[in-house]
Structure 1
Amino acid sequence: MYKVLVFGMTSNMGGIESFIISYYKRFDHSKIHFDFLCNTHDKVAYEDELHKLHSKIFKVTMRSKHPLRYKSELNSFFKRYAADYDCIWVNVNSLANIDYLKLAKKYGIKRRIIHSHNSQNMDGKLRAILHDYNKKRISKYATDFWACSPSAAVWFYDKDLMSKVVIIKNSIDLDRVRFDGNKRKQLRNKYNLDGNLVIGNIGRLHFQKNQMFSLEILSSMVKKTPKIKMVFVGSGPDKEKIIRRAKELKIEKNVIFTGAQKDISGWLSTFDVFLFPSKFEGLPIAGLEAQGNGLPVVASNNAIPKEAVLNSNVKILSLNDSVSTWSNVINQFGQLNRINANIVKMNFKKAGYEINAAVPILEAKFKG
């Protein structure tokens, strides 16, 4: 059996976490086994599911909270367990911390995969400096270089590594996000959404996802269409800032915060249009999941790359376009029908983003 130590699961149920669990649930567990190393002592996303798959979950202290304790715990872990693994697979949004790869090499894990899931820095200046510094050294510690998209590869790796980069598509489980009319009725009743144009956004409440711009769009739309709601599904550091801005714009009654949610299918089914104005992404799971639901999507050209526009009811705009342009397009797309589930499945399979077709490809990369 090929044993892989995976880094990338956090307490946040985000894109990387969804990507990992979607693939691993479908692997042949008699041939490939995952255990998980996490930099938190809190419960991590999908922890119960991972235990059912007989995966071990090891937890160390976060470096930013207790640097000395983190260093001690991490070194002790690799010293004790490194010999149990054939491979370490590190899934991250930046190269600010490559300690996992350095220690994996030091303690003899032969195959060391670094996997880029983002295309720009989403943290502070210090982490940006660390990313640039480690970008020049990553080839000393990693043996395999993966990325979720070409743009994520360009940001993560130096030019001399680009020929070695393997693109791993963030394929999704269409059954998990397919349209459900009953869930739509239940959630629209629960939140008094009937009769409203419902604009949805799923993602971390963070400047990367650009929810502040979403509020500007909503403010413009409310003046013409009072019966409108914007639903933010997710949690994050910018929540209070977004709430304050909604109050300043006097649209707080038109905004709903649900917090983090597990029933993605239900919320996507509740929306009339998906708004995705991110400042940058690698290859966003949320944009693919919205398309997997058949939902009309209005996104920035920084959020969904051309190769990931799979359905005909997707409109890509620039963040330089005016608020009124965004508002008009959202109004138009909010009236469109969803794409039929069979057509959605055909589109995803053809482009390589349907999980069941993609699993054997990734499985082979571990076996190989």
Structure 2
Amino acid sequence: MVKVLIVGLSEEVGGIENLFYNLLKKPIKDCKFDFLAFGQKCAYEDFFRDIGSKIFYMPTRKSCPFKFNSLVKKFLINHNDYDYIWFNTASTSMYQFQYFGKKYTKSKIITHSHGTSIDRNNGKFLFAVNKVLEIINKQKVVKNTDLFLCCSLASGKALYGNKYTDKLIMVKNGIDVRKFKFSAINRMKKRSELQIDDSKTVFTLIGRLSPQKNPLKAMEIFAEYYNKNNNSILLVVGDGDLKQDVINYINNNNLNSCVKMLGFRDDVSELMSCADILLMPSLFEGLPLTAIEAECNGLKCYLSENITIETKIIPQCHFVSIKDKSEKWVRIILQKDCLNLERENCYKAVLKNQYSIDDTREYVRKILIGEISNG
């Protein structure tokens, strides 16, 4: 039995948390997974416990910067029987698990890059500190990494640097294709529940309302579109630090009648069938699961050019610069809106490009049993 310690999950549901939740909905043969979460809770912790995983907790580095090294060292000394330590990150600012993992355990170290930039959620000062630490600690990370995983080529280059490109192992962010394929029944059902007329064009903004996701830009784009076509509505699915800013924007721009704040939902796949367009003007992403799910569903997707090109798997996925004014985004949306879209068949492109979670699960199994190695 291959024993794996997954490090880097948080209490918030995001791309990393969803990846491992989806991966482990079915057992991976001859592999056992435990989790080390930062904070006092772990997203999906009840599910992980139900499948037999142990969950350990550690304070965040931010909450105990002077004790963090000793906490990591002590934990790894006391839990040194894992075959792999799998660290999930978007930055090399934190090196402790690679460095102390090599020093105090016999584990192989996996570093998995999930982004192309450090999140700015913690403010300008901490962002600057992390950028400095990223430069200082980069060599400690790469020197003590055995397997260089990434969700896209851009995320791999951003974390490890260009000279490690030949070592990259791309693990695609697989999705549950059956769940997210378009359903006409769900479309009618959700439009009825939300009291949305069949003739309306429905936009969606799905994900954490955080600076990275740039939700206020999405609000501006929708407001501009609504001025040209008031037979439209926006569904905001998710919560986060910028929730109140989004609400203030809605109130200040008299959008209360055409924006629905739905919060965190467990029916996202059904809401996608209800909708027509996904907006994702993110400042940066590794490879967003939400976009792959939306493409599987056949939504017309308008993403920022900062999102990696591997995200595009259907012709109805378009990239626009976040530097462009909202008027240009809307002009592009209106131009592309006339394109025919056979939503029922879009899931086939996901399968063809091997973004099914079943493909990802098998690929991960091969990595862990040694059939796939760097580059």
**TM-score, normalisation: structure 1:** 0.90
Distance, in Å, in 2 between the alignment partners of 1:45 and 1:273 is 28
The alignment status of 1:78 with 2:81, answered yes or no, reads: no
Cα separation, 1, equivalents of 2:350 and 2:234: 27
Alignment of 1:271-286 (within 5 A): 271-286=275-290
SS of aligned partner of 1:137: helix
Q: Distance in 1 between matches of 2:163 and 2:97?
A: 23
User: What letter matches 2:18 in structure 1?
Assistant: S
Q: Kindly state the Cα deviation for residue 107 of structure 1 after the two structures are TM-superposed.
A: 1.7
Say whether residues 1:229 and 2:228 are aligned partners.
Answer: no
Q: Structure 1: 5+ residue runs without aligned partners?
A: none
2: CA distance, partners of 1:191 / 1:350: 34
Deviation at 1:33, TM superposition (A): 0.9
- Give 1:53's aligned amino acid: I
| Match status 1:19 vs 2:22 | no
The one-letter amino acid paired with 1:25 is K
Match of 1:92 in 2: 89
**Superposed displacement of residue 115, structure 1:** 0.6
Q: Which residue of structure 1 lines up, in the alignment, with residue 362 of structure 2?
A: 360
Deviation at 1:326, TM superposition (A): 1.4
Q: CA RMSD in A?
A: 2.2
Counterpart Cα distance in 1 of 2:365 and 2:240: 33
Q: How high is the sequence identity, in percent, across the aligned residues?
A: 29
Alignment-mate amino acid for residue 141 of structure 1? N
Other-structure match for 1:3: 3
Question: Does the 8 Å CA contact 1:287/1:304 hold for their aligned counterparts?
Answer: no
Provide, for residues 258-281 of structure 1, a one-character-per-residue CA deviation record: whole Å limited to 9, x for no partner.
222222212211212111111221
Query: Per the alignment, do residues 81 and 137 of structure 1 end up closer, same or farther by CA in structure 2, a change over 3 Å counting?
Result: closer
Report the 3-state secondary structure (helix = DSSP H, G, I; strand = E; otherwise coil) of the residue aligned with 1:282.
coil
Matching residue of 1:36? 35
Cα distance change of structure 1 residues 67 and 133 upon mapping to structure 2, 3 Å threshold: closer
Question: Residue type matched to 1:270 in 2?
Answer: C
Closer/same/farther in 2, CA of residues 337 and 204 from structure 1, 3 Å limit = farther
Amino acid at match of 2:106: I
Per-residue Cα deviation, 1:113-149 (whole angstroms, up to 9, x for no partner):
1010001222222222222222232123222211111
Structure 2 unmatched ranges of 5 or more: 121-126, 371-375
- Alpha-carbon distance in 2 for matches of 1:175, 1:336: 25
How far apart in 1 are the matches of 2:257 and 2:134? Answer: 41
Aligned to 2:184, which of 168, 177, 181? 181
Q: Could you tell me which residue of structure 2 aligns to residue 245 of structure 1? A: 249
Distance in 2 of aligned mates of 1:69 and 1:183: 50
Structure 2 counterparts to residues 209-358 of structure 1, below 5 A: 209-305=213-309, 307-331=310-334, 339-341=342-344, 343-358=345-360
- The alignment partner of 1:226 has SS state of coil
The question of 1:130 aligning with 2:127 is answered no
Amino acid aligned to 1:35: D
Instruction: For 2:161 and 2:319, locate their aligned partners in 1 and report how far apart those are by CA, in whole Å.
Output: 29
Aligned-partner SS, 1:139: helix
Partner SS for 1:129: helix
Amino acid at match of 2:151: C
Shift of 1:191: 2.8
2:299 partner SS:
coil
> Quick one: which of 154, 166, 172 aligns to 1:163?
166
- C-alpha distance 109-245 of structure 1, shift in aligned 2 (>3 A): farther
